[in-house]
Amino acid sequence: MGLDDKKLLDSPVKPGNDNLKAFRNSPIIYGYKNMPLLNDMFEVFLSSNRKELFPSKYWVALNKKNLEQLEKYGYDNFKRTIALDYFTWLVSPWDEQIKYLVGNLPVQSVIKNAVRTLLTKKHKCFNWAQSLSYNFITYMVYEYVLRNDKARLLDSLNEPAEGNPPEVYLKNKLISQDLANSVLEFKAVMDSGIDKKAIKTIIELGAGYGRTA
């Protein structure tokens, strides 16, 4: 999004007031009218002198990129922008995820999902290549989970409209990679041998916006 990632990653990162002033004067953060709470959070965090709390250069670069996306496309489209850095995939046909799905679904299903992909419209914030990539992996992973979801958990889940998710429908239902991956993650936990009856509280570490919890 116009961000020079290499320059960011190669630049020194120092906690404290110098960083606070730099971020304060940045139009990326302070030029976006709907980000006052985010501004306050950055002020508090970046003014800290505790080096052990300061993020790596990777997270500094990624957060700058995400702030640019918020400024350009707004919060209302975060599932089409920021989400692409956090477990919403746009991948090539040769990606390992696609290879696995192709190898574990019937040939007829792969062909059917390829046709659906071509018939689904281009999404706002995506170019055509990104739209096709998103459509195909979404159809594929959703069908894979449907075929392995004996408890029919997907039937009880609906994709929230928050963040303007890309519009991919299956049998008139809005579907997403988030829904499918949430069920996969839930099954991985439940099938791990834990005593399900003993569970009283669930805490998800590194939860993002908490879709699995």
pLDDT tens-digit series, residues 56-81: 878 878 887 887 888 788 888 999 99
Q: Is the pLDDT of residue 144 over 80?
A: yes
Q: Is the pLDDT of residue 208 over 80?
A: no
Per 3-state DSSP, what percentage of the chain is helix, strand, and coil (rounded to 5)? 55, 0, 40
Query: Torsions phi, psi of 196, nearest 5?
Result: -65, -35
137 HSE (CA, 13 A, CB side): 23
Q: Which tens digit of pLDDT belongs to each residue from 19-47?
A: 445 544 554 444 455 566 776 776 677 67
Task: Give CA–CA dist 124/80, Å, rounded.
Answer: 8
Helix or strand or coil: residue 188? helix
The pLDDT of residue 213 is 65
Given the structure tokens 């290549």, which residue do they identify?
A: 129
How high is the mean pLDDT of the chain? 81
Report the SS3 class of residue 173: strand
Average pLDDT over residues 190-201: 88
Whole-model pTM: value is: 0.77
